Structure 1
Amino acid sequence: MTLILSAVLLIITIGIGIYQWLKKPQFRSPKPFQPKQDLKANHRYSQFHNAAHPSQRVKAGGELKALFTFLVQRNARAIPATPVSSYKSNLHQLQREQNIVIWMGHSTSYIQLDGLCFLVDPVFSDNASPIPRTNRPFVGSNIYQPNDIPDIDYLLITHDHWDHLDYPTLHALRYKVAHVITPLGIGSYLQQWGYQPAQIQECDWQQSIQTSSHVTIECLPSQHFSGRMLKKNPTLWASFALIGSQRVYLSGDSGYGPHFQAIGEQLGPFDIALLECGQYNHAWPDVHMFPQQTVQAAIDLQAKAIIPQHNSKFKLSNHDWDDPLKQISALSLDKPYQLLTPMIGQVVDCQQPQHFSHWWTSTEPVTIRETSTSDI
């Protein structure tokens, strides 16, 4: 009897602990989206949908099978054996009039264009997952913290997944951000995390936002899905273009589709495109691009230069950690764009030709830190 009572008390205690854990801000659900006008994005039956595909995340066989395979399959090279090379540029000392891009690993980037500062999908915490101590960044890849970030004119969020919408990072940055641009539905997360409604503008596909400068932010289609817990596709996913004295495209997460050619015809050519290249898998071919598809997307967009992203920080698939960079380098040799492969944190000057080393091939990783005035 005592053993049974102890077991019941243990179950109750665990249940209370899980309940209290799930009350944390990062687990809050978005408010149900209520369409107020005709949408360019597809919204029906209380869900958003892709334009060209039926929002099928994984092939036939089910999500549980794909998850099980992902967890059980082992690849010793899916995580780097040594720290990832990086170059920690001091963002506080940058000249605002410089047009630059700094890739910060995975899909996070810092951009200066025509005097404005943009921050895209910032994830600086040690966990990009609802489960603690899982999906941790590779050693050496998580070199920036909120204190390292200067005041931001526009924070751009492409979708609500944990590796793009990170509560600890966004909560810490809330006093540095003037404006937030998100796809439809995501603003309700941010309001629950301390941002003011006046700061936030939610956008439909094909919607333009005129900034305080001469830069226009274009909210554009992507081919993906959304949801942070069990609810499927409650918010919209998107790509963005920054149109000013130069044109910058931000793919967010996306499978390959006809939207790339349509965007290229509508807004191209682009001076720089930051394109997804990583976390691909034959189990989910429609929502992440393989390297050869990234190449075709660059051509479709009429990109003059590309930076491959969505790699080198988190393990979300079982390919070798450096496979995206190896493949895209080989595939880009004869293509009509310049492939830019900066280390995490290196400054890419949008107005000057640059060449970067194949840093991922080095047997002795390099970590360079500029003098910083921030607390690290």
Structure 2
Amino acid sequence: MFIVLLTTLFMLIPAAYLYTRQPQFGQVPDEAEFRNRKLTSPFADGEFSNQVYTPTLTGEQNRFVALAQFLFGKDENAIPAIALPSKKTDLHALDKAQNVVVWMGHSSYFLQVNGKRFLVDPVFSDNASPVPATNRTFKGSNIYTTGDIPEIDYLLITHDHWDHLDYPTVTGLKSKIRQIITPLGVGNYFEQWGFNKAIIHEGDWNSVIQPEKDISIHILPTRHFSGRLLAKNKTLWGSFAIITPGHNIYVGGDSGYGPHFKAIGERFGHFDLAILECGQYNENWRFIHMMPEETAQAAEDLNARAMLPSHNSKFKLAHHPWNDPLNRVSKASQGKSYRLLTPMIGELVEQDNPAQRFSQWWQ
């Protein structure tokens, strides 16, 4: 029996090694790239960290137990029993003069602002995990493909986690992407995947990228972490503020609640729209993902006039019921100063139409 186990182990180790050498895993940048630079984001001993103390896990569970639990754990109503409803917008047919947002489920969305097209964290694969057949999309949630996407002026990637940076999706979009904007180190993956280095723009927290007149894209802090396999925090994570004449838009990445939201709100005055994570939360990791009530508070901290909750309704990455995020954030948003936007996946959101309303489709 021991010989059989030993033989199996010797077979699995090289197989696992070869599997992780696939291009989708990518190689993290050398820490020397950041060691001697003057950074606004905390960086020490080869790793980035948050502005405030942020343990990844707060309970007694270790990282590997937590990973195994969300990959293979069973939770009541965590996956919809039927296919989710959707309204697939034809993105190719949109008038570029329209200022719109289309949520594609989880943290993927398409925006048109002042005639420019933005695509954020697109994931059109059937799963959000390097382990085959795990973290599969909910039925009815994965309605877009790379062929549905028109030419994109700016691809924004908030961080390198699998459910935000998807190798098959971004490589399938390669010919359609004019510019790529990421936090520090994340552009390194795109270079490895054959993208032209000249179109890749990386930035530290609070840096500003002004690719053309009347558009500035600010890379801003979040409270999270990074890593695609075992290496952790070798690249930076963040959020974006898209500032144009007439539109201030906050594009949030993954984040626990923290003082950065209020600081960002004070810096920019207000946001016409804030897209904020609301889903995949748990008490054991509450410092890296917000509870829905904290999402509502973050929208107020940002002085948002409208808020769209994302990071839900496509994958099971936590133990809560699949529709718990939208139920709770709807309740927490009652009486608040912002409008809560809850479109179906694929439904067109008109940024300049304050009278637009949405159904409680998740009920």
Bin of the TM-score, shorter chain as denominator length: over 0.9
Q: What's the counterpart of residue 184 of structure 1?
A: 184
Q: Which of these residues, 26, 42, 64, is aligned with residue 28 of structure 1?
A: 26
CA-CA distance at 1:175 after TM superposition: 1.0
Asked if structure 2 preserves the Cα contact closer than 8 Å seen for 1:242 and 1:248, the reply is yes
Counterpart Cα distance in 2 of 1:315 and 1:7: 33
Aligned amino acid, residue 32 of structure 1: D
Aligned amino acid, residue 30 of structure 1: V
Q: What's the counterpart of residue 107 of structure 2?
A: 107
Please show how residues 14-53 of structure 1 align to structure 2 within 5 Å: 14-33=12-31, 34-35=33-34, 36-53=36-53
Cα shift readout 1:155-187 (whole Å, capped 9, x = no counterpart) = 000000000010010111111101100000111
Cα shift readout 1:276-332 (whole Å, capped 9, x = no counterpart) = 100110000100000110011000000000000000001110100000000111111
Q: What's the counterpart of residue 266 of structure 2?
A: 265
Distance 1:111 1:81, change over 3 A: same
Q: What's the counterpart of residue 252 of structure 1?
A: 253
Counterpart Cα distance in 2 of 1:155 and 1:213: 18
Aligned amino acid, residue 358 of structure 2: F
Distance 1:348 1:213, change over 3 A: farther
Asked if structure 1 preserves the Cα contact closer than 8 Å seen for 2:71 and 2:317, the reply is no
Asked if structure 1 preserves the Cα contact closer than 8 Å seen for 2:72 and 2:134, the reply is no
Q: What's the counterpart of residue 217 of structure 2?
A: 217
Aligned to 1:360, the other structure's residue is in SS state: coil
The TM-score with structure 2 as length reference comes to 0.95
Counterpart Cα distance in 1 of 2:331 and 2:4: 61
CA-CA distance at 1:8 after TM superposition: 6.4
Aligned amino acid, residue 209 of structure 2: I
Are positions 1:275 and 2:273 aligned together?
Answer: no
Counterpart Cα distance in 1 of 2:104 and 2:282: 23
Distance 1:186 1:100, change over 3 A: same
Deviates more, 1:33-42 or 1:329-338: 33-42
CA-CA distance at 1:231 after TM superposition: 1.1
Q: What's the counterpart of residue 78 of structure 1?
A: 78
Aligned to 1:216, the other structure's residue is in SS state: strand
Are positions 1:57 and 2:56 aligned together?
Answer: yes
Distance 1:72 1:162, change over 3 A: closer
Counterpart Cα distance in 2 of 1:4 and 1:281: 40
Q: What's the counterpart of residue 321 of structure 1?
A: 322
Aligned amino acid, residue 290 of structure 1: M
Cα shift readout 1:47-85 (whole Å, capped 9, x = no counterpart) = 0000012x3100142323434554675322000000111
Distance 1:239 1:339, change over 3 A: same
Asked if structure 1 preserves the Cα contact closer than 8 Å seen for 2:126 and 2:137, the reply is yes
Counterpart Cα distance in 2 of 1:242 and 1:66: 35
Aligned to 2:308, the other structure's residue is in SS state: strand
Q: What's the counterpart of residue 227 of structure 1?
A: 227
Distance 1:19 1:330, change over 3 A: same
Q: 5+ residue gaps in structure 2?
A: none
Asked if structure 2 preserves the Cα contact closer than 8 Å seen for 1:239 and 1:252, the reply is yes
Counterpart Cα distance in 1 of 2:4 and 2:250: 58
Deviates more, 1:283-292 or 1:210-219: 210-219
CA-CA distance at 1:9 after TM superposition: 5.9
Are positions 1:338 and 2:342 aligned together?
Answer: no
Counterpart Cα distance in 2 of 1:6 and 1:290: 47
Distance 1:16 1:248, change over 3 A: same
Q: What's the counterpart of residue 368 of structure 1?
A: none
Q: What's the counterpart of residue 374 of structure 1?
A: none
Asked if structure 2 preserves the Cα contact closer than 8 Å seen for 1:268 and 1:303, the reply is no
Q: What's the counterpart of residue 365 of structure 1?
A: none
Q: What's the counterpart of residue 197 of structure 1?
A: 197
Cα shift readout 1:322-343 (whole Å, capped 9, x = no counterpart) = 0000011111111100001000
Aligned to 1:283, the other structure's residue is in SS state: helix
Counterpart Cα distance in 1 of 2:346 and 2:258: 30
Are positions 1:152 and 2:140 aligned together?
Answer: no
Distance 1:110 1:269, change over 3 A: same
Counterpart Cα distance in 1 of 2:311 and 2:123: 12
Q: Indicate the percent of aligned positions where both proteins have the same amino acid.
A: 50
CA-CA distance at 1:28 after TM superposition: 2.2
Q: What's the counterpart of residue 301 of structure 1?
A: 302
Asked if structure 2 preserves the Cα contact closer than 8 Å seen for 1:116 and 1:213, the reply is no
The number of residues matched between the two structures is 358
CA-CA distance at 1:232 after TM superposition: 1.4
Cα shift readout 1:105-143 (whole Å, capped 9, x = no counterpart) = 000010111111100000001121111111111011000
Cα shift readout 1:239-274 (whole Å, capped 9, x = no counterpart) = 101001211101110000000000000013111100
Counterpart Cα distance in 2 of 1:339 and 1:239: 20
Aligned to 1:27, the other structure's residue is in SS state: coil
Aligned amino acid, residue 359 of structure 1: W
Aligned amino acid, residue 135 of structure 1: N
CA-CA distance at 1:13 after TM superposition: 4.1
Aligned to 1:38, the other structure's residue is in SS state: coil
CA-CA distance at 1:12 after TM superposition: 4.5
Counterpart Cα distance in 1 of 2:68 and 2:347: 37
Aligned amino acid, residue 164 of structure 1: H
Distance 1:41 1:281, change over 3 A: same
Distance 1:334 1:19, change over 3 A: same
Counterpart Cα distance in 2 of 1:46 and 1:262: 27
